[in-house]
Amino acid sequence: MFEDRPNRSAEVVFVGRSNVGKSTLMRELTGHSFSTGKKPGVTRKPNHFDWNAENFMFTDLPGFGFMSGVDESVREQIKTDVVRYVEANAEHVLAGVLVVDGKSVVDVIDRHSGPDEIPHDVELFHFLEELGIPAVVAVNKMDKVDDRDERLNALCERLGLYPPWKQWEPETIAPITAKRGSIEPLKEALRHHFHEANRDDLLKFVK
Protein backbone atom coordinates (compact mmCIF):
# COMPACT_ATOMS: atom_id res chain seq x y z
CA MET A 1 0.00 0.00 0.00
CA PHE A 2 1.25 3.49 -0.80
CA GLU A 3 2.49 5.39 2.25
CA ASP A 4 3.22 9.05 3.00
CA ARG A 5 -0.01 10.58 1.74
CA PRO A 6 -0.10 14.28 2.71
CA ASN A 7 -3.00 14.93 5.05
CA ARG A 8 -5.33 16.88 2.75
CA SER A 9 -9.12 16.91 2.95
CA ALA A 10 -9.70 17.47 -0.78
CA GLU A 11 -8.03 15.66 -3.65
CA VAL A 12 -8.28 14.95 -7.37
CA VAL A 13 -6.77 11.59 -8.37
CA PHE A 14 -5.44 10.75 -11.83
CA VAL A 15 -5.49 7.10 -12.89
CA GLY A 16 -4.80 5.29 -16.14
CA ARG A 17 -2.64 2.89 -18.05
CA SER A 18 1.06 3.46 -18.46
CA ASN A 19 2.10 5.83 -21.21
CA VAL A 20 -1.23 7.59 -21.72
CA GLY A 21 0.31 10.94 -20.79
CA LYS A 22 -0.69 11.37 -17.15
CA SER A 23 2.58 13.00 -16.13
CA THR A 24 2.48 15.43 -19.07
CA LEU A 25 -1.08 16.32 -18.12
CA MET A 26 -0.03 16.93 -14.51
CA ARG A 27 2.71 19.24 -15.72
CA GLU A 28 0.19 21.22 -17.77
CA LEU A 29 -2.21 21.47 -14.84
CA THR A 30 0.28 22.36 -12.14
CA GLY A 31 3.22 23.92 -13.97
CA HIS A 32 5.34 21.47 -12.03
CA SER A 33 7.58 18.91 -13.71
CA PHE A 34 7.20 15.27 -12.78
CA SER A 35 9.58 12.64 -14.03
CA THR A 36 8.16 11.29 -17.26
CA GLY A 37 9.81 8.51 -19.14
CA LYS A 38 9.70 6.92 -22.54
CA LYS A 39 9.54 3.60 -20.72
CA PRO A 40 6.14 2.69 -19.26
CA GLY A 41 6.02 2.18 -15.54
CA VAL A 42 8.42 4.97 -14.57
CA THR A 43 6.00 6.23 -11.91
CA ARG A 44 5.77 3.54 -9.22
CA LYS A 45 4.39 5.57 -6.33
CA PRO A 46 1.95 8.47 -6.17
CA ASN A 47 3.11 11.96 -7.07
CA HIS A 48 1.29 14.47 -4.86
CA PHE A 49 1.14 18.13 -5.78
CA ASP A 50 -0.44 19.85 -2.83
CA TRP A 51 -1.44 23.27 -1.55
CA ASN A 52 -1.38 23.52 2.22
CA ALA A 53 -3.47 26.69 2.54
CA GLU A 54 -6.36 25.19 0.59
CA ASN A 55 -5.95 21.74 2.10
CA PHE A 56 -6.02 20.34 -1.44
CA MET A 57 -3.90 18.26 -3.82
CA PHE A 58 -3.69 16.64 -7.22
CA THR A 59 -2.43 13.04 -7.05
CA ASP A 60 -0.92 11.27 -10.03
CA LEU A 61 -1.20 7.54 -9.32
CA PRO A 62 1.13 5.02 -10.98
CA GLY A 63 0.16 3.70 -14.39
CA PHE A 64 -1.07 0.13 -14.64
CA GLY A 65 -1.50 -2.46 -17.38
CA PHE A 66 1.18 -3.86 -19.63
CA MET A 67 4.70 -2.49 -19.14
CA SER A 68 7.59 -4.01 -21.04
CA GLY A 69 10.23 -5.39 -18.75
CA VAL A 70 7.98 -5.26 -15.68
CA ASP A 71 7.00 -8.55 -14.07
CA GLU A 72 3.29 -9.38 -14.10
CA SER A 73 3.16 -9.74 -10.31
CA VAL A 74 4.56 -6.19 -9.97
CA ARG A 75 1.97 -4.90 -12.46
CA GLU A 76 -0.84 -6.56 -10.52
CA GLN A 77 0.51 -5.15 -7.24
CA ILE A 78 0.55 -1.61 -8.67
CA LYS A 79 -3.05 -1.96 -9.83
CA THR A 80 -4.08 -3.33 -6.41
CA ASP A 81 -2.31 -0.44 -4.66
CA VAL A 82 -4.02 2.11 -6.92
CA VAL A 83 -7.44 0.61 -6.20
CA ARG A 84 -6.77 0.49 -2.44
CA TYR A 85 -5.52 4.07 -2.39
CA VAL A 86 -8.66 5.37 -4.13
CA GLU A 87 -10.89 3.27 -1.89
CA ALA A 88 -9.15 4.39 1.31
CA ASN A 89 -9.37 8.09 0.40
CA ALA A 90 -12.68 8.14 -1.46
CA GLU A 91 -14.34 10.53 0.98
CA HIS A 92 -11.72 13.19 0.17
CA VAL A 93 -11.73 12.74 -3.62
CA LEU A 94 -13.66 15.46 -5.46
CA ALA A 95 -13.06 13.85 -8.85
CA GLY A 96 -11.29 10.84 -10.31
CA VAL A 97 -9.71 11.51 -13.68
CA LEU A 98 -9.25 8.41 -15.82
CA VAL A 99 -6.68 9.31 -18.49
CA VAL A 100 -6.86 7.28 -21.71
CA ASP A 101 -5.11 7.40 -25.08
CA GLY A 102 -7.77 8.59 -27.54
CA LYS A 103 -6.18 6.83 -30.48
CA SER A 104 -5.85 3.35 -28.95
CA VAL A 105 -8.29 3.10 -26.02
CA VAL A 106 -11.21 1.53 -27.92
CA ASP A 107 -8.94 -1.13 -29.46
CA VAL A 108 -7.32 -1.84 -26.08
CA ILE A 109 -10.73 -2.22 -24.42
CA ASP A 110 -11.94 -4.53 -27.19
CA ARG A 111 -8.78 -6.61 -27.03
CA HIS A 112 -9.28 -7.20 -23.30
CA SER A 113 -13.03 -7.79 -23.35
CA GLY A 114 -14.10 -11.35 -22.78
CA PRO A 115 -16.41 -13.52 -20.69
CA ASP A 116 -13.96 -13.53 -17.79
CA GLU A 117 -12.23 -10.24 -18.38
CA ILE A 118 -13.25 -6.65 -17.77
CA PRO A 119 -10.80 -4.19 -19.33
CA HIS A 120 -8.92 -2.13 -16.72
CA ASP A 121 -10.20 1.19 -18.08
CA VAL A 122 -13.86 0.14 -17.94
CA GLU A 123 -13.36 -1.46 -14.53
CA LEU A 124 -11.78 1.70 -13.09
CA PHE A 125 -14.44 3.97 -14.52
CA HIS A 126 -17.19 1.95 -12.83
CA PHE A 127 -15.12 1.56 -9.67
CA LEU A 128 -14.94 5.36 -9.29
CA GLU A 129 -18.68 5.62 -9.82
CA GLU A 130 -19.41 2.86 -7.31
CA LEU A 131 -17.40 4.76 -4.70
CA GLY A 132 -19.48 7.87 -5.41
CA ILE A 133 -16.51 9.68 -6.93
CA PRO A 134 -17.36 11.84 -9.97
CA ALA A 135 -15.48 10.18 -12.85
CA VAL A 136 -13.98 12.26 -15.64
CA VAL A 137 -12.44 10.55 -18.67
CA ALA A 138 -9.61 12.69 -20.03
CA VAL A 139 -9.29 11.40 -23.60
CA ASN A 140 -5.71 12.39 -24.36
CA LYS A 141 -3.69 12.60 -27.62
CA MET A 142 -6.77 13.73 -29.57
CA ASP A 143 -4.51 15.49 -32.08
CA LYS A 144 -3.72 12.01 -33.43
CA VAL A 145 -7.39 11.05 -33.90
CA ASP A 146 -9.04 11.61 -37.30
CA ASP A 147 -12.53 10.22 -36.70
CA ARG A 148 -13.03 12.21 -33.49
CA ASP A 149 -16.81 11.91 -32.98
CA GLU A 150 -16.90 8.27 -34.04
CA ARG A 151 -14.03 7.38 -31.72
CA LEU A 152 -15.52 9.23 -28.71
CA ASN A 153 -18.95 7.69 -29.32
CA ALA A 154 -17.36 4.22 -29.41
CA LEU A 155 -15.57 4.94 -26.13
CA CYS A 156 -18.84 6.04 -24.50
CA GLU A 157 -20.48 2.79 -25.60
CA ARG A 158 -17.67 0.75 -24.06
CA LEU A 159 -18.03 2.66 -20.78
CA GLY A 160 -21.79 2.11 -20.66
CA LEU A 161 -22.60 5.75 -21.49
CA TYR A 162 -25.17 6.38 -24.20
CA PRO A 163 -23.75 8.17 -27.25
CA PRO A 164 -23.54 10.81 -28.58
CA TRP A 165 -20.50 11.70 -26.48
CA LYS A 166 -21.36 15.41 -26.62
CA GLN A 167 -24.06 14.97 -23.99
CA TRP A 168 -21.38 13.81 -21.54
CA GLU A 169 -19.24 16.90 -21.85
CA PRO A 170 -17.95 18.65 -19.91
CA GLU A 171 -18.63 16.66 -16.72
CA THR A 172 -17.61 13.16 -17.85
CA ILE A 173 -15.87 13.14 -21.24
CA ALA A 174 -13.02 15.61 -21.80
CA PRO A 175 -11.08 15.34 -25.10
CA ILE A 176 -7.61 16.86 -24.63
CA THR A 177 -4.07 16.99 -26.04
CA ALA A 178 -1.84 17.46 -22.99
CA LYS A 179 1.39 17.70 -24.98
CA ARG A 180 0.07 20.78 -26.78
CA GLY A 181 -1.36 22.32 -23.64
CA SER A 182 -4.88 21.81 -24.94
CA ILE A 183 -6.62 20.75 -21.70
CA GLU A 184 -9.49 23.24 -21.37
CA PRO A 185 -12.24 20.53 -21.51
CA LEU A 186 -10.69 18.81 -18.48
CA LYS A 187 -10.39 22.09 -16.59
CA GLU A 188 -14.04 22.75 -17.36
CA ALA A 189 -15.01 19.33 -15.99
CA LEU A 190 -13.01 19.92 -12.81
CA ARG A 191 -14.52 23.39 -12.38
CA HIS A 192 -17.95 21.76 -12.60
CA HIS A 193 -17.13 19.15 -9.94
CA PHE A 194 -15.44 21.65 -7.60
CA HIS A 195 -18.52 23.85 -7.81
CA GLU A 196 -20.82 20.87 -7.16
CA ALA A 197 -18.75 20.05 -4.06
CA ASN A 198 -19.09 23.65 -2.80
CA ARG A 199 -15.36 24.19 -3.27
CA ASP A 200 -15.32 27.31 -5.43
CA ASP A 201 -12.14 28.27 -3.56
CA LEU A 202 -10.37 25.64 -5.69
CA LEU A 203 -11.46 27.05 -9.06
CA LYS A 204 -8.23 29.05 -9.27
CA PHE A 205 -6.32 25.78 -9.81
CA VAL A 206 -8.20 25.08 -13.03
CA LYS A 207 -8.50 28.57 -14.47
Q: At what angle do helices 184-196 and 22-30 cross, to 10 degrees?
A: 70
CB 119 within 8 A of CB 108: yes
Domain, as residue range, for 43: 10-200
CB 99 within 8 A of CB 15: yes
CA dihedral (92, 102, 24, 27) positive or negative:
negative
Global pTM reads 0.92
CATH number of 119's domain:
3.40.50.300
Mean pLDDT along residues 109-138: 91
Report pLDDT digits (tens) over 73-106: 888 888 889 999 999 999 999 999 999 999 999 9
47, part of any domain: yes
102, part of any domain: yes
CB 23 within 8 A of CB 94: no
Radius of gyration of the chain (CA): 16
The Cα–Cα gap between 95 and 92 comes to 9
Number of domains in the chain: 1
87, part of any domain: yes
Q: Is 83 exposed, middle or buried (0-12, 13-18, 19+ CB in 10 A)?
A: middle
Report pLDDT digits (tens) over 40-65: 445 578 989 988 888 999 999 998 87
5, part of any domain: no
The predicted pLDDT at position 65 comes to: 73
Torsion of CA 160, 192, 32, 68, to 10 degrees: 0
CB 184 within 8 A of CB 25: no
Mean pLDDT along residues 152-163: 96
Q: Is 23 exposed, middle or buried (0-12, 13-18, 19+ CB in 10 A)?
A: buried
79, part of any domain: yes
Which of the four pLDDT bands, split at 50, 70 and 90, describes residue 67?
low
62, part of any domain: yes
22, part of any domain: yes
The Cα–Cα gap between 7 and 55 comes to 8
Which of the four pLDDT bands, split at 50, 70 and 90, describes residue 38?
very low
The predicted pLDDT at position 138 comes to: 98
51, part of any domain: yes
The predicted pLDDT at position 193 comes to: 97
CB 18 within 8 A of CB 65: yes
